Structure 1
């Protein structure tokens, strides 16, 4: 409801009453003028008629104005009454809202206290949860560490060759696929005790081995704890029992027959032990190391002279490569430094504008790469960024030839060594064909020299080329890393200098 409507209505009535009074005054003025300027008789008569008409009109207008004024007053009183009613309703509503607001404030206070209590309880529960998680993580880590140790033990144990996937149950625990359960812990304890028991037993079992021809064979296996395995199987050639030692492979977890059979005396001892006639049997306490030494191995020092004259250039390449590698190692070792502590110290000096301290710090290590190039840039600290970057780039380019020295030579030697080996192979085969031409192919010993020369040079060439190539790759990577590091620290130094200059300008 618009509260201003009664006031506007009263103003309208007042304006109409003033307009009516103005019109009456204008009429009287006109009447006076007519009396003054018209003839007396006619004027009197006309004046009386006009006055009567005007009086009647005036009466009608006054009556109309009184009616309108009464209506406006009634409407104003009605509106005033309605406004008062609305005011009372609004006052009651406001009081109701105030009461509700007080109730809500009380409820909010109770809820705030409840939230505070719940928050304290939540923090307490979170602390307990964190403590519980820490304890669980510690326990889980201990169990997983034990599982890894047990897995390594089982993989390295020769007993694993007699059972497939002996350590498979440890994978979910080790790879954190699930939290370790009591069943896992019991299984780990059982596996540990089983390994302890088996490691102290001497027993005969039937299992699968890989024989000397690389075939899978079922054999009778004598297990002497975790030290030695001895196999007995029927020979495919003679039909007689074949007896020998076994080697255990951690990678495949299988037994491999030793490529060389034991001598007759060792065989007789094993046979007597299996028959119960002896109480002792040969055991390799090194767990396979002594058995591998038992086989015939070629001595490289004895084979090298058989490679012919091409061997000596290959050995010369090896010696030259070793000298280059030694020189490079000494070179990088003398100029190597940890850049981060140095840059942190330099950053602190640049931040406070201690340029003399920066110069002294760089000069104290100017034989190193990074301080040397940064010392060059210090003289350009008052120049533009482009000038400083150009100076640093020039300093880095000046260091690159010394860093890359002999790297290409090492790559060339790695390429030449196998070519010389191939050349030795060709010359050895030529000598073999010459022997065949003159003496025929009846005596293999006559051809063994050329074949040995062909094989030894190839072997020696590859033996020299492979490590040289490896060292060349590592050295190239080291060179790239060092150059990238110098460029990175150079850019970082430029940013330090201009950041310090900008801060000085702002202050």
Structure 2
């Protein structure tokens, strides 16, 4: 009977301990799950802040350049044919008006050549080439920032990681407390800085080269259109 009473009294205590352990585990999981991505990133150290600034500036440049390049590289498939028709008919004013109606880079390049018809062909070609260079330079304006960010962001992240590792080993040398938990915890936090730098650098690098590809494709198309106009100017009746 005594043993039975003891077992009955111990059972609630055991249940209480089990419930407390389960509650503690649940609380720990809840705390882990509630850690926000921002808090996790900010553990990367002081270099995270300039990287965040670079990220937002990079996104701003990407959006601004995309909208600007998209507008500038807009090409009307019928514009060249319309200009060629007007030139063959001898209606120079109409050709100039058609070339400038869209206010795009391609239109400005054609307009620069059509507007000086009557001068030597070499001069017309030179003017159109110079106008192309100006328009391309306008499109490339600001892309240097993306190239700069793609270079310095990974370096800033690496500097943040190195400085964090230096602090870890400096603390160990002063306290003499060496354990794997301290080292691994400090290292994973400092590696966040390198990861963030690489992410920002990759975004800027990809955007930089993508925009340059778009600009190169535009320049090639404009050169083809310019040659068509030059052929019409040289031989209005048979130009293609």
Aligned to 1:336: 73
The residue number in structure 1 matching 2:221 is: 485
- 1:362 is matched with 99
Residue in structure 1 matched with residue 50 of structure 2 by the alignment:
313
RMSD (Å) for aligned C-alpha atoms = 2.5
Q: 2: CA distance between counterparts of 1:481 and 1:297?
A: 48
Instruction: Report the CA distance between 1:502 and its aligned residue.
Output: 7.0
TM-score normalised by structure 1 residue count: 0.39
Which of 426, 431, 454 is 2:190 aligned to?
454
Give the greater-gyration-radius structure (CA): 1
- Relative distance call for 1:369 and 1:332 in structure 2 (3 A) is same
- The equivalent residue for 1:118 is none
Cross-structure match for 1:417: 153
Structure 1 residue 328, shift from structure 2 partner: 0.3
Question: Quick one: structure 1 residues 297 and 485, their matched pair in 2 at CA, closer, same or farther if it must change by over 3 Å?
Answer: farther
Out of 88, 91, 107, the residue aligned to residue 371 of structure 1 is 107
SS across alignment from 1:500: coil
Matched residue count: 209
> Does 1:407 find its partner at 2:143?
yes
Does the alignment pair 1:351 with 2:78? no
Structure 1 ranges of 4+ moved more than 6 A: none
* TM-score normalised over the length of structure 2: 0.78
Write the deviation string for residues 278-333 of structure 1: whole angstroms up to 9, x where unpaired.
xxxxxxxxxxxxxxxxxx79853231110111011111111111111111012113
Structure 1 spans left out of the alignment, 5+ residues: 1-263, 265-295
Q: Which has the higher helix share?
A: 2
The 1-side partners of 2:99 and 2:111 are apart by 6
- Secondary structure, aligned partner of 2:160: helix
Q: In 2, Cα distance between the equivalents of 1:480 and 1:380? A: 26
Distance 1:305 1:349, change over 3 A: same
Asked whether the equivalents of residues 41 and 192 of structure 2 are also in contact (C-alpha less than 8 Å), the reply is yes
User: What does the per-residue CA deviation read over 1:206-245, in whole Å, with 9 as the maximum and x for residues that have no partner?
Assistant: xxxxxxxxxxxxxxxxxxxxxxxxxxxxxxxxxxxxxxxx
